[in-house]
Structure 1
Amino acid sequence: MSIKQYSEAQLKEIAMLELANEILQESKNPVDYHSILNQIAEAKGMSEDLKNSRIAHLYAEMSMDGRFVNIGENRWGLRSWYPFDQTEEELSQANKTRKKKRKEEEEDDLFEDEDDFDEFEDLEDELDELANEEDEDFDEDDDEDEDIDEFDEDLEETDEDEDVL
């Protein structure tokens, strides 16, 4: 049934969702959301304020109703026009372009943050300090070994001196 066939009383009573369905059936092609909304508002005699207050409501209803499909770029069609696979492909292609853009932005953010913050910097500093402490410990051990060698030499000398006496 065409929108033109409804009386004014019927148009005021019929749901916006049903009118959207009628508009799409008449057009037989995807239609821009705002065009659908404007045609509904005109048919129902809605004021601009009322129309603006119902924008999100109609969009949410169309999104949840299985008869409608968002083709992308704010265009809507009827699900019956599209085989299931085709609709899924079109929607996934529209979403992929957004994901790539977001992914590139996230990568840019990562590179910017890399200069400001290195998450392993503190760990690297601690490891460097520990390595330096160990090097110092080894140096001290070497000094102790030298002291022991000198002590052993002194003992040998005193033993030799005693043997000579």
Structure 2
Amino acid sequence: MSHFEDDPFRSPTSPPSAAYPSPSAEPNTGLIVAVAIVNYVFGGLQVACGGCLAIFGATFTQMIGGIMEQDRQMTPQDQAALGIMTAVFIGIGVVFALTGLPTVLAGYGVQCQKEWGRILTIVLAGISALMGILLLLGLNPLGLLFAGYSIFTLVVLLNSSNAKAFK
């Protein structure tokens, strides 16, 4: 640490240490909290979208079944197909909602600055990056959201000074 007491450009009213602050290696807790908030938002949206998919998908298939039943007599194969479609919508919605729960849990771990929360968030960001790439290859603009989340999360959590904040 150097002090330049003889520096002619130093303000006479400020102490030497304040005139030349040393670069700090302290973690940026604002960015860490931002990662936690993004995890909460993404996880909450995933749980909500999964629930909506299960409820509205099953309702939609049952409405189609009702319309088909009014127009003509449904065969057992038609009824079985509608039952399978309903089960698929419910299954995908439940799986989608259940994958949002680890994201919310990771947000809590990052907010409390726990090492397991950091590791879980890094793993989820890697999975999100792969999903983003697949969505972008399919020309889905939602892939940009996944890619942006992954890049932001990985840049913040893999920073060596921010990594020191986790216990």
Task: Confirm or deny a common fold (TM above 0.5).
Answer: no
Task: Judging by fraction of residues, say which structure has more strand.
Answer: 1
Which structure is richer in relative contact order (CA contacts within 8 A, separation 6 or more)?
A: 2
